[in-house]
Amino acid sequence: MSQVVVAVVVVAVAVVVGLVLRGRRQVAVPTQPAAVVPMQLDRADFPQAVAPWVVVVFSSSTCHSCADVVRKAQVLASKEVGVVDIEFSANAALHRKYDIQAVPIVAIADRDGVVRRGFAGPVTATDLWAAVADAREPGSSPEPELGHQGD
């Protein structure tokens, strides 16, 4: 009987030691791309956007959701809003300049290049259009927080 008690105690101690050691082990998290919307754009980088407001979509031809976001943004093009698609393979230098590490990224900037709203990742047409409207005319959207990146 005493041998069984000793065996149970040894197993219990081994289990506790194993759990403590397992809890101390740190698992390395895989590197994740940063999906960050730039805070400022140099409007000279987008000479085709002569309108007071510009919607810049950083995209990639291999990204299916990017094509959808570009289509949604293009509907916004007008004399007041320019829309520019900065596709990675055609404009890698701009992706590097603005440290774009994931796509799609949408930046909505004023005439000075200050990004007033932005989205990292897919966005609905309603949210994109409302964010542009509210950036241009604050208070015009029932959800003025759309596209805010912590400003």
Mean pLDDT, residues 107-127: 94
Task: Enter the pTM of the model.
Answer: 0.74
Mean pLDDT, all residues of the chain: 85
Domain boundaries, the chain: 43-136
For residue 25 the two structure tokens come to: 């082990």
Which pLDDT does position 33 carry in this prediction?
Answer: 58
Distance CA 78, CA 148 (A): 23
Which pLDDT does position 20 carry in this prediction?
Answer: 73
**Residues 103/88, Cβ–Cβ less than 8 Å:** yes
pLDDT of 64 higher than 50: yes
**Residues 14/3, Cβ–Cβ less than 8 Å:** no
Which option is the CATH number for 43-136: 3.40.30.10, 3.10.180.10, 3.40.50.2000, 3.40.50.300? 3.40.30.10
**Residues 59/53, Cβ–Cβ less than 8 Å:** no
**Residues 49/84, Cβ–Cβ less than 8 Å:** yes
Which pLDDT does position 145 carry in this prediction?
Answer: 65
Nearest-10 Cα torsion for 131, 119, 41, 73: -60
